[in-house]
Structure 1
Amino acid sequence: MNSDAKLIKPKLGVLELGRQLGNVSQACKVFGYSRDSFYRFKKLCEEGGELALLHFTF
């Protein structure tokens, strides 16, 4: 696994878990992200695809 994939995988994971559970708060607790971060990841992914998540910084 390259370094880009290591950075993207947890962000995609929280998005997928949120979709599966239908509960953003619960998915964020599992992954340790804030709801604000979740929605930023979602917007980036929708607008620029998975690679856009590489450029997200806290």
Structure 2
Amino acid sequence: MDLNDFKNSQTKVRQPQTNGFVERFNRTMLDEFFRIKMRKKVYDTLESLQVDFDLWLQFYNEQRPHLGYRIQGKKPLERILDFKNSVQNGS
């Protein structure tokens, strides 16, 4: 089933050849968020953890520098908006 013109596909777990971007994000999330926050703060509720994670995710997408060759030095949100504009303009 297509959702917003995207096709769903299945990938093998822990196979960087097929899902390397997701595996890299999971590692970054673990190293830059969870390992740091869990040392500094005891979370009483899942909701309080979610608030901090949402703030980190916003930082990751909108402010954190990304050096991967596919993202071309831009932040993820910038790449998404560039792609959206290119699709709308037909380029």
TM-score of the pair, normalised by structure 1: 0.35
Greater radius of gyration (CA) = 2
Higher helix proportion, which one?
Answer: 1
Query: Using CA pairs below 8 Å that are at least 6 residues apart, which structure has the higher relative contact order?
Result: 1
TM-score of the pair, normalised by structure 2: 0.24
